[in-house]
Amino acid sequence: MVLECELGYFTPIEIFYLLSRFKKSGRLEFETGEVYFIEGNVVHAKRGELTGMEALYQLSLEESGKIRFFPDEKPEEITISEETGTLFEEIERRKLEIKEFKEKLPPFDTVPLKSTRTPEGEKIALRKKDWKVLILVDGKRTIKEIIEQSGLGALDAYQTLHWLFEKGLIYDPEAKKRLIEEGKKKLGAVLSSLGEGPWKDEVLKLINEMELSGVVEVNGEVKVDAQAGVSPEKLGEFFESAFERIKSKAEEVLGKVLAKKKIQDGLKKAGVK
């Protein structure tokens, strides 16, 4: 072994680039798999039951653990023949896609449930990978565990989960609670930062317009009755519209620059994106 480092300080793609740039040959060992190089070219990868490009893409997403390089070790088989630069471009593309899907999914410690309702409208045909994920949704496994145990590549697992949520075949039982907490925090932070002003009146008008009196209150702090039977979709629409109305009224009264600063300061102080 001639190289050892901790992932987290270096990313897999940085190590891949280093070995490729200086045309090294040998085995790069992860705690979950391995990648072989011959004169800087990636020629084989293995992670669990996966081999080839999919194994390489999985390993490129590793964020923790040790990584070691053993020079001149040769693979038993060649499973990757693509040009190394193309592989790196594909890794970056997949990482970007995965990031987008992660932002759309609930937190990874969420335990999703199967829906008992029949999806309305279009007839839904489940693919093999959909069944692989759906069968793991048992009310006990977290999203993180489902992804790890699905046997799918990371991108396929994220795409499939997003599709199942979107089609209403699985759902997040804590979605409404989470939406309310995030909405209250964001709305409260902005109103607190701006102080008293006509922007609060805009929120009160919206509450009446959406017939949410008794459900949402804005008196010193934002309160929401989670047991009122209002759908998460309607509450989401309220919070989004309220924020836009506050922003518009603040810009009208304070000017765009000052309004933007106050709103950003409020969100930053509250730790809200």
DSSP notation for 14-54: HHHHHHHHTT--EEEE-SSEEEEEETTEEEEEEETTEETHH
Least confident residue range of 7-11, 135-139, 240-244, 253-257: 7-11
Q: By residue range, what is the domain housing residue 121?
A: 108-171
Give the distance, in angstroms, between the CA of residue 92 and the centroid of all CA atoms in the same chain: 16
Phi-psi domain of 40 (left: phi exceeds 0; alpha: psi -120 through 50; beta: other): left
Residue 1: pLDDT over 80 = no
Displacement of CA 140 from its chain's centroid (Å):
20
Same domain, 140 and 77: no
Say whether both 97 and 21 belong to one domain.
yes
The Cα–Cα gap between 172 and 166 comes to 11
Same domain, 151 and 188: no
- Pick the last residue of a domain from 138, 171, 204: 171
Residues 160, 131, single domain; the answer is yes
Which one-letter DSSP state was computed for residue 228? S
Helices (H), the chain: 12-21, 53-59, 84-104, 128-134, 143-149, 154-166, 175-194, 198-209, 232-254, 256-270
From CA 192, how far away is CA 149, in angstroms rounded?
44
Residues 250-267: pLDDT tens digits? 999 999 999 999 999 999
What is the C-alpha to C-alpha distance for residues 271 and 239, in angstroms, rounded to an integer?
17
Q: Is 9 found in the same domain as 93? A: yes
Whether residues 9 and 81 share a domain: the answer is: yes
pLDDT at 154: 80
- Please indicate, yes or no, whether residues 265 and 205 belong to a single structural domain of this protein: yes
Q: Does 83 lie in the same domain as 20?
A: yes
Domain-terminating residue out of 151, 171, 191:
171
Q: What is the pLDDT of residues 126-158, one digit of tens each?
A: 999 999 999 999 999 999 999 989 988 788 899
Number of domains in the chain: 3
Same domain? For 29 and 78 the reply is yes
126 and 143 assigned to the same domain: yes
3-6 and 66-71 strand pairing:
antiparallel
Q: What is each CA distance from 11 to 42, 63, 259, in whole angstroms?
A: 16, 7, 39
Listed residues 171, 191, 209: the one ending a domain:
171
Residue percentage of the chain with pLDDT more than 90: 75
Taking each helix axis as running N to C, give the angle between helix 12-21 and helix 84-104, from 0 to 180 degrees, rounded to the nearest 10. Answer: 170
SS3 224: strand
What predicted TM-score, i.e. pTM, was given to this entire model? 0.67
